[in-house]
A = this chain, B = another copy of it.
Amino acid sequence: MIKKVLVANRGEIAVRVMRSCREMGIRSVAVYSDADRNSMHVRYADEAYRIGPPPSRESYLNVEAIIGAAKSSGADAIHPGYGFLSENASFSARCRQEGIIFVGPDPYAITTMGDKIIARQTMIKAGVPVVPGTTEKLKDEQEALEIARQIGVPVMIKASAGGGGKGMRLVKHLDEVGSAFRRARSEAINAFGDDSVYIEKYIESPHHIEFQILADNHGNVIHLFERECSIQRRHQKVIEETPSPLMNPELRREMGETAVQAAKAVNYKGAGTIEFIVSDNLEYYFLEMNTRLQVEHPVTERVVGVDLVKEQISIANGNPLPFRQEDLRQTGHSIQCRIYAEDPDNNFMPNPGIIKHITEPHGLGLRCDGYVYEGYEIPIYYDPMITKLISWGETRVEAIARMKRALYEYKITGVKTNIKFLEKIMDTRDFIEGKYNTHFIENNEAMLHASRPCGIECEDMAIMAAFIDYIAKMESIQPPRYTDELGSNWKDFGRKRNVLRL
């Protein structure tokens, strides 16, 4: 039985894991870099150990330091959260060697799913549909044409060494295959010094839909339905929801079964996610498997009524799953918004800094998983996500209305955030109608970057507040008395200013 868990992570996910530990009566151990001494996970944990300087590779990726902290604290288990070492097979193996339970799958599952080509081959063997095409280098134009004919246009010809759109050619008609192949190859050799190209079916309006699965050590594998994750900026998810507006019961059952099959193919254990790409006409293909907890796991927790971290720990303890597939239901609708410290009007540039003031939303149907607090300085070294806001409603319409209410209540000063950007997404017709795919943000650029109207009265209120603040300060200018300073504290100072003395 696990009695003490070291959480090899930081930020909201570290706090979230520790919360479940506390509810289970398990002691939690934080590890922290020098940039995180004041971070919430250090304050929240029962124990805390320093593991190195700010850069991740010297701290949160520092296997020796983390194993050392686990040994010093006598932790039975390590929960890796997401990111950092969570999908590192050798870390999983190392924990096992050291006699520490790794809360996650074994190295085999991580390795297999971590390599795109091996994962694809494994899935094909297991009967899981993958995006039609090749993974090997195309021999010549003739082979390209043959395969394009097999899988049907549109197709994409891609450089094997590629990235960033270079060496990529979209083909809409078969008679374009030849020239596209030649051009892709010449671009590839110029850009990467390697002329290998391959061919893949092109999904025109791709939806990103994933299935949560849980697998125990006794051969039981179940899924906890889907999450719709198509709203992305720079390939990073911004909003997730469940149920997916695209889904129907038949497809859900089928994709769920496929997800379970995929997990079984790698003898998976723990919580994991099968990501699919789905076309407008509901063809779905395996994309990848995330062998860890997802950032967006809370929407599943809310709608299915299961604490996924507790289930992870229970599985790690060797317990069988406490429910069967037929025990699970989706109730209502849940949406998650990721709140980033970034400037949406400036290409989403990260905006670390000091939180001057924060008011988080509360009330019926809301969950707020964050880690920042007033006076906290968000470090420059890590992810810009500061909070996940999760709403629930009896219906999707209510979940959206509640999310809008929550975003309205959420006030933060000191750093720029994407809160107003998220509010605008909630007001976008395509989102409201649930008709969107991964092109949503680019398709709605104009609307999402329009600034809201602030009429003359609204402007005057802004002027007034600043003016009155300035006047009040001017009139109180006098060297504070010695005793005042001694007796005052932060909050008293605030209090004195509650009533303006103009």
Contact = CB atoms under 8 A, between A and B. Distances in A.
Contacts of A19: 363-364, 405
B482 A401 contact: no
A491 B375 contact: yes
A147 interface: no
Contacts of A363: 15-16, 19, 367-369
B356 A362 contact: no
Contact of A377 (B24, B359, B414, B495): B495
A127 interface: no
A491 B413 CA distance: 11
A99 to B, nearest CB: 28
A370 to B, nearest CB: 7
B306 A394 contact: yes
Given A480-B479, A480-B485, A22 B374 contact: no
B375 A495 contact: yes
Contacts of A370: 362
Interface in A174-222: none
Given A307-B364, A370-B362, A401-B24, A482 B477 contact: yes
Interface in A349-380: 354, 356-357, 359-360, 362-370, 373-375, 377
Given A354-B491, A490-B494, A498-B38, A373 B359 contact: yes
A410 interface: no
Nearest to A469: B489
A375 B485 contact: no
Interface string A366-400: 11111001110100000000000000001000100
A112 to B, nearest CB: 31
A495 B354 contact: yes
A357 B301 CA distance: 31
Contact of A477 (B20, B22, B394, B485): B485
A23 B405 contact: yes
A11 to B, nearest CB: 14
Q: Residue among A19, A398, A414 with the most chain B CB within 10 A?
A: A19
A19 to B, nearest CB: 5
Nearest to A23: B401
A374 B369 CA distance: 20
A362 B386 CA distance: 14
A467 interface: no
Nearest to A474: B486
A374 B450 CA distance: 34
Contacts of A366: 367
Q: Which 4 A-B pairs have the closest CB atoms?
A: A23-B401, A375-B494, A356-B491, A22-B405
